[in-house]
């Protein structure tokens, strides 16, 4: 998968996640699993100058999945906010 395709897929899945959160619902585990899978691919495609940020983003994706598995909505919301912040730290390519 090339970076552009990965970015498009990540944006679609993340939109589903935030849509659930906005209506005070826990995102579907399948959606979070797909998001985590895609986020884990980012470091493989990252340029050397932003690989650390990509790894951090993948770690946050894994954490939000774990929080959802524990039905911890408050932590899911906090991690979604952290993912939003992390997206701002990534280069414009993201």
Q: pLDDT (tens digit, 9 = 90+) per residue, 40-57? A: 999 998 888 888 888 999
What is the structure's pLDDT at 88?
76
Q: pLDDT (tens digit, 9 = 90+) per residue, 9-21? A: 998 999 999 999 9
What is the 8-class DSSP label of residue 28? P
Q: Give, in order, the Cα–Cα distances in Å from 53 to each of 15, 48, 92.
A: 20, 10, 12
Q: Where are the beta strands (DSSP E) in the chain?
A: none
Paired tokens of 70: 């524990």
pTM of the predicted model, to two decimals? 0.89
């Amino acid at each position: 998968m090339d970076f552009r395709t990965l970015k498009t897929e990540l944006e679609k899945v993340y939109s589903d996640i935030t849509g659930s959160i906005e209506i005070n619902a826990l995102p579907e585990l399948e959606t979070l699993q797909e998001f985590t899978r895609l986020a884990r691919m980012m470091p493989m495609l990252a340029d050397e100058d932003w690989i650390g940020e990509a790894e951090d983003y993948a770690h946050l994706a894994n954490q939000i999945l774990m929080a959802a598995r524990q039905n911890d909505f408050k932590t899911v919301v906090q991690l979604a906010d952290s993912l939003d912040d992390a997206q701002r730290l990534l280069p414009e390519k993201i």
